[in-house]
Structure 1
Amino acid sequence: MKIFKRILLLLAVFILIAVIYNYPKLNMLSGYSAKNTASSVFLSERTLEFTDTTDNNFSPVNLATDKVDLEKQFATSSALGLLTRKAIYRKGLGSVLTLDEIDETAPYLVPKRLKPDNKTPFPYGNAPQKDTVFTNVNYKKLEEAIDYLFEENNQTRAGVVIYKNQIIAERYANGFSKDSRILGWSMTKSITSTLFGILEHQGKINVQNKAPIEAWQNDERKQITIHNLLQMNSGLEWDENYDEISDATKMLFLERDMTQQQIHKPFVGKPNETWNYSSGTTNLLSGILRNQFKTHQEYLDFWYVDLIDKIGMNSMVVEADLDGNYVGSSYGWATPRDWAKLGLLYLHNGNWYGEQLFAKDWVKYATTATPTSNGWYGAQIWLNAGKRYPDAPKNMYSFNGFQGQNVFILPDEELVIVRMGLTKNADLNQFLKEVLNSIN
């Protein structure tokens, strides 16, 4: 009996140690699941069942138990019954994880939105496009390319091919349509970067200036420029790891103000010599944007009035943290067609329906390879200069996000290609090659 009791005691101790060791991980797990559930259900208007069987159905997130309150518009997720996190929905700002009970009733500002243009045909408005048949497009080959993209193992949710402003191929997986908001994850970074191009075109900022961060002014970090931040080449420490507790996961699931975490990191390299992918840097840039305006309301409105709604991305919602900063690194939701509009804005060098939103030179700047990035990265935009996609043009560039979100811009071919998925299983080089082969 004594031996049995000792075994039980040892087992209890081991369990306690395991719980203590893994408790922070459970916090992240339940935080991810609660946030994703709330956004999926209340922002993208999916069901809880659909969300749990698709978006949250991967290890270890599928260990969490999710619940939603449709009337009060919040979601909770419990990790193995040991830790529960809550995410609330705020109309206009999307969903956010709470850190304190007071967060559930705290007042908040919302952005003012421009009215959608439902009369002008796509892409400059939301009315049906004026169909054009291109004699140089082999539509059968194009459909075969789309067929490949939507093979079951590829887990593609949306595919849109736009040629000379015209949708020439479009398909959606079951449960999705042209009106479905899909999370772009890090494609949101390209939205954040574009806003700097717009502010610079308006004469309100110079991205070559030193980053206006007070905490850096008394040490060597004062040499960091906004340009360095846009290129993720500041030399600052950052751990972008989503499989473990890292700087990125702590920022997204534990911070009230996501613009601050990168500020407190030390140098591990030198500006312009140490490329390091960092969502913390992008959210720091969101904070810098906020400080360009006299009021919080002006900051909230700017993203929509000067860019998002200006180009008819009316479905888009960029979610904000508890302090009202847009999470410019990760949390932009929009329909695939609206994501394509951002690509078209770049394809047309910042000109939208006759209005120049950013200077033509901004595209060249944003798509110039960051030193030490091996030709992969520009100013919050991914490049093909390093031939990541060997069968695509070297001057192709893209907005990319977690789990296989992509907007490819091929300037010489006048193409914008959108692929949104649940995984990165699809061989996008093959897909791009087949699309290009369908156009003579």
Structure 2
Amino acid sequence: MMKQRWIIPLAPALALFVSAAAPVLEREGAEDDSIAADAPVPARADIAPLVDALFSEEGVGETRAVLVMHNGELIAERYAPGYSADMRYISWSMAKTVTAMLVGFLVDDGVLDLDAPAPVPEWQGENDARRNITLRHLLHMASGLDHTEVNEPIWDSDTNRMLFSTETDDMAGYAVSRPLEANPGDKYEYSSATTVIIARIIADQLTDSDDPGERAAAYRHFAEQRLLGPARISSVYFEFDARGTQIGGSLIHATARDWARLGEVMRTGQGPDGTPIISSEWREFMLTPSPRNGEYGGQTWLNRPGGVYDNPVLFPDRAPQSLFAFNGHLGQYVMVSPAQGLTVVRLGNTPDGELREAVVMRLARIFEAFGQTTGETDSG
């Protein structure tokens, strides 16, 4: 019998087609701040039509929540009927950026080295070419491992095997077992399996225990201590597999306001009270184009030309190129423009393809409404 995941069991049918939204149980002792009020915030008059368009215009799928923050102030917030500020919303691949934030603390602490062989025991055989994979390669989606993110039929991909079918018990074990299809560092290939490996590496540095509950608890405690607590984020809910590995490529849940807070941490490097959280060096790494894909940094999408896809993932001709994003399946976005002091969250259920492109273009209008810069200089 398949073991049940730790923390949150997720039905495959729901996970495939519907973004999860669950009521929040606030962490005891969590502090209130300017975006923790119960009442929704109306949109500032000049962007209200742009926010409304994400809900009302045809061709954008289902929008469930939109928030806009400007220079740390929440200036717009709207939810679709049936959704609210006290619900958690699934990350899908927005989780990858959070996982990168967490592993950065271990790099800054000197526990991990970006360019040393990744600490994966299964790769350390004398004749195993995978021993040349570094943490940098993993963060840049350039490990060279034979991972397939999307395939036809839909079940025939590594991502769906890990999340929903034969490999759910030990996702990272499956991910690290795959052979190389390219030399490490030579090829960009987007892979949720890669980020699960990073999540296991994090847990391995935090505890020697093989007990799933202890591994999950150590991971959660680390996230609380280094990221969530200083950022005053109280709703984040992690999913772990049966081995206690956080499903770091796909499954983190949080309120829309806490997704905005995470975007603000990446915008400023700080918590809302000015407490330093993300070092400038790690933030620079995450936001620097990777060698094999100019649109991708360290588990983070960049508003840059020169990507590996036919069309830009974001909109480099319509907003500062310093803009970056946490992107997730079915139209989950936390878009951040440091040059404009903007963080914009859009959560919903929009299929990939033309509808997703329409959502991105409507989000671009919000950034265009603020001009090129209102805060730090765009380093472009």
Identify the structure with bigger relative contact order (alpha carbons < 8 Å, sequence gap 6+). 2
CA distance in 2: counterparts of 1:382 and 1:432, whole angstroms: 15
CA distance in 2: counterparts of 1:183 and 1:359, whole angstroms: 27
1:433 positional shift: 3.6
Structure 1 residue matching 2:334: 3-state secondary structure:
strand
CA distance in 2: counterparts of 1:167 and 1:333, whole angstroms: 21
User: Where does residue 220 of structure 2 map in the other structure?
Assistant: 300
Say if 1:145 and 1:435, in contact at 8 Å, map to a contact too.
Answer: yes
Match for residue 276 of structure 1 among 172, 189, 207: 189
CA distance in 2: counterparts of 1:312 and 1:350, whole angstroms: 11
Match for residue 380 of structure 1 among 295, 299, 302: 299
1:430 positional shift: 3.2
Match for residue 45 of structure 2 among 140, 144, 161: 140
Say if 2:18 and 2:349, in contact at 8 Å, map to a contact too.
Answer: no
Amino acid of the structure 2 residue aligned with 1:236: L
Amino acid of the structure 1 residue aligned with 2:336: I
CA distance in 2: counterparts of 1:275 and 1:184, whole angstroms: 22
Superposed CA offset, 1:109-147 (max 9, x none): xxxx673113xx225xx3579x9x9xxxx9433011112
Superposed CA offset, 1:72-112 (max 9, x none): xxxxxxxxxxxxxxxxxxx99xxxxxxxxxxxxxxxxxxxx
CA distance in 2: counterparts of 1:365 and 1:285, whole angstroms: 16
Q: Confirm whether residue 399 of structure 1 aligns to residue 326 of structure 2.
A: yes
Match for residue 109 of structure 2 among 194, 202, 206: 202
Structure 1: segments with no counterpart, 5+ residues: 1-29, 47-90, 93-112
Q: Confirm whether residue 251 of structure 1 aligns to residue 162 of structure 2.
A: yes
CA distance in 1: counterparts of 2:228 and 2:15, whole angstroms: 23
1:366 positional shift: 0.3
Larger radius of gyration: 1
CA distance in 1: counterparts of 2:298 and 2:67, whole angstroms: 24
User: Where does residue 378 of structure 2 map in the other structure?
Assistant: none
User: Where does residue 161 of structure 1 map in the other structure?
Assistant: 68
Structure 2 CA distance for partners of 1:37 and 1:396, relative to 1, 3 Å: closer
Structure 2 CA distance for partners of 1:282 and 1:357, relative to 1, 3 Å: same
CA distance in 1: counterparts of 2:37 and 2:11, whole angstroms: 39
Q: Confirm whether residue 417 of structure 1 aligns to residue 344 of structure 2.
A: yes
Say if 1:229 and 1:282, in contact at 8 Å, map to a contact too.
Answer: yes
CA RMSD of aligned residues (A): 2.8
1:363 positional shift: 1.4
**Structure with the largest fraction of helix:** 1
CA distance in 1: counterparts of 2:224 and 2:197, whole angstroms: 19
Structure 2 CA distance for partners of 1:147 and 1:352, relative to 1, 3 Å: closer
CA distance in 2: counterparts of 1:33 and 1:239, whole angstroms: 21
- Larger mean Cα displacement after TM superposition, 213-222 or 203-212: 203-212
Say if 1:235 and 1:273, in contact at 8 Å, map to a contact too.
Answer: yes
Superposed CA offset, 1:239-282 (max 9, x none): 10162321111111232011111211111112222111111111
Q: Confirm whether residue 44 of structure 1 aligns to residue 22 of structure 2.
A: yes
CA distance in 2: counterparts of 1:45 and 1:237, whole angstroms: 38
Match for residue 337 of structure 1 among 257, 272, 276: 257
Match for residue 122 of structure 1 among 34, 52, 55: 34
1:174 positional shift: 0.5
Superposed CA offset, 1:180-238 (max 9, x none): 11101110111111001122233332222210112211211111101111111111110
User: Where does residue 375 of structure 2 map in the other structure?
Assistant: none
Structure 2 CA distance for partners of 1:45 and 1:345, relative to 1, 3 Å: closer
1:311 positional shift: 1.2
CA distance in 2: counterparts of 1:299 and 1:180, whole angstroms: 23
CA distance in 2: counterparts of 1:177 and 1:371, whole angstroms: 40
CA distance in 2: counterparts of 1:156 and 1:37, whole angstroms: 14
Could you state the TM-score of these two structures normalised by the residue count of structure 1?
0.70
1:37 positional shift: 10
Say if 1:233 and 1:370, in contact at 8 Å, map to a contact too.
Answer: no
User: Where does residue 285 of structure 1 map in the other structure?
Assistant: 198
Amino acid of the structure 1 residue aligned with 2:146: E
Structure 2 CA distance for partners of 1:223 and 1:144, relative to 1, 3 Å: same
CA distance in 2: counterparts of 1:195 and 1:431, whole angstroms: 31
Q: Confirm whether residue 211 of structure 1 aligns to residue 131 of structure 2.
A: no
Structure 2: segments with no counterpart, 5+ residues: 1-9, 210-214, 306-311, 372-380
Amino acid of the structure 2 residue aligned with 1:165: G
What does 1:176-187 correspond to in 2, within 5 Å? 176-187=83-94
Say if 2:266 and 2:278, in contact at 8 Å, map to a contact too.
Answer: no
Say if 1:122 and 1:128, in contact at 8 Å, map to a contact too.
Answer: no
Structure 1 residue matching 2:87: 3-state secondary structure:
coil
1:34 positional shift: 6.0
- Larger mean Cα displacement after TM superposition, 338-347 or 312-321: 312-321
Q: Confirm whether residue 311 of structure 1 aligns to residue 311 of structure 2.
A: no
Q: Confirm whether residue 33 of structure 1 aligns to residue 18 of structure 2.
A: no
CA distance in 1: counterparts of 2:328 and 2:206, whole angstroms: 28
**Paired residues, what number?**
334
User: Where does residue 87 of structure 1 map in the other structure?
Assistant: none
CA distance in 1: counterparts of 2:184 and 2:332, whole angstroms: 29
- Larger mean Cα displacement after TM superposition, 398-407 or 255-264: 255-264
Match for residue 265 of structure 1 among 159, 175, 178: 178
- Larger mean Cα displacement after TM superposition, 256-265 or 298-307: 298-307
